[in-house]
Amino acid sequence: MSDARRAGSGSMPRPARGLAVAFLLAIVLAGCAGQSRAPFRFDTDVFTHALFSPDSQILNGLWLTVVISVVSQVIGILLGIFGALGRMSRRAPFRLIANFYIWVFRGTPLLVQLVFFFFGLGAAHIYDWPAINLLGLSIPGEIQAGIFALGLNEGAYMSEIVRAGIISIDAGQMEAAKSLGMTFGLGMRRIVLPQAARIIVPPLGNEFNNMLKTTSLLFVIGVQELYTTFSIKQSQNFQPFEMYLACALWFLLLTTIWSVIQAYIERRLGKGVAGASTGGRSLRDRMFGKRGPVEPSLVSGGR
């Protein structure tokens, strides 16, 4: 008996034995707590309130999420156009800058970019992100930093999307534009980019959908957007199930609205394209439907 005990304690090092004891204790305690805890009751009241009569904090968070997403995406698109043109430029310095930018921002985590720009630059006294006034509206530093990081990060991804759109347009389009006396810039703006836009929109839709959700990362630099708002709320009312579910549904609402807007944009850009949803029959009809009357759709299609 005493031999066995000695052998047992000898074979198990001290810390491990401590851990084992703690583990057993935890299970016992958890069992007791489970018995004493009231069964989970879904708090419908709190949940529906958060969803159907949101307070000013939630509305503010919602507003921030939308505004930050839209502004960051617009910055991303503009940077994406420059990034794409830079990568395709005949001039080596432009290519180098664009490649470097895309390399860095696609190659490092957005989370790290966020904390680096906000905390890192601040700590190094490179930029302290003071609040700035814009049209009587004070914009706190963390929101600026958030938009800055999100926009730059997005621009790197948009560069590749825009580039794919541009190279998908037949080179004859730019030649025709040039032969009519347009400069490269004018031909890009008036002829190539509008056509590339149609190709860019579906992946752009993906990007913006992501952007809406990714704003929740701004939590780490203390921006009270939608996710942060609900996170704070659940820490106050101890109802994480209801709060995070409501939070998820709000995000779902935002991305759903966006998908409707995106479908509208795609329809608008489809003009002049054979088989686009504006003129004639839809893709579904053409693939699975009956053979439609072709002539009338050709004549009435277009606008």
Give ∠ CA 77-83-85 in degrees, rounded to 5: 105
Please list every residue from 156 through 175 that binds another protein, using CB under 8 A.
Answer: 170, 172-173, 175
- Nearest approach in angstroms of CB 171 to another protein is 9
Q: Applying CB under 8 A, which of residues 19, 180, 283, 294 lies at the interface with another protein? A: 180
Instruction: Identify which range of 52-60, 179-187, 236-244, 253-261 contacts another protein by CB under 8 A.
Output: 179-187
Q: Which is nearer to another protein, 132 or 186 (CB)?
A: 186
Q: Which is nearer to another protein, 176 or 261 (CB)?
A: 176
Q: Does 91 bind another protein (CB under 8 A)?
A: no
Nearest by Cα to 219 from 229, 228, 211: 228
- Nearest approach in angstroms of CB 178 to another protein is 6
Q: Does 182 bind another protein (CB under 8 A)?
A: yes
Please list every residue from 48 through 77 that binds another protein, using CB under 8 A.
Answer: none
Burial degree of 163 (CB within 10 A; 0-12, 13-18, 19+): buried
Instruction: Identify which range of 76-84, 102-110, 267-275, 282-290 contacts another protein by CB under 8 A.
Output: 267-275
- Nearest approach in angstroms of CB 90 to another protein is 11
Q: Which is nearer to another protein, 49 or 178 (CB)?
A: 178
Nearest by Cα to 67 from 146, 157, 131, 155: 146
- The amino acid occupying position 199 is I
SS percent in the chain: helix, strand, coil, step 5: 75, 0, 20
Please list every residue from 268 through 287 that binds another protein, using CB under 8 A.
Answer: 271-274, 279
Tokens matching residue 276:
């686009």
Beta-carbon contacts of residue 77 (< 8 Å; ≥ 6 apart): 154, 155, 158, 162, 204
- Nearest approach in angstroms of CB 210 to another protein is 28
| Cβ atoms of residues 190 and 182 within 8 Å | yes
- Nearest approach in angstroms of CB 283 to another protein is 15
User: In angstroms, rounded to a whole number, what is the distance separating the alpha carbons of residues 11 and 3?
Assistant: 12
Beta-carbon contacts of residue 138 (< 8 Å; ≥ 6 apart): 131, 132
Q: Does 190 bind another protein (CB under 8 A)?
A: yes
Q: Which is nearer to another protein, 90 or 125 (CB)?
A: 90
Residues that bind another protein (CB under 8 A): 170, 172-173, 175-184, 186, 190-191, 194-195, 198, 271-274, 279, 298-299, 301-303
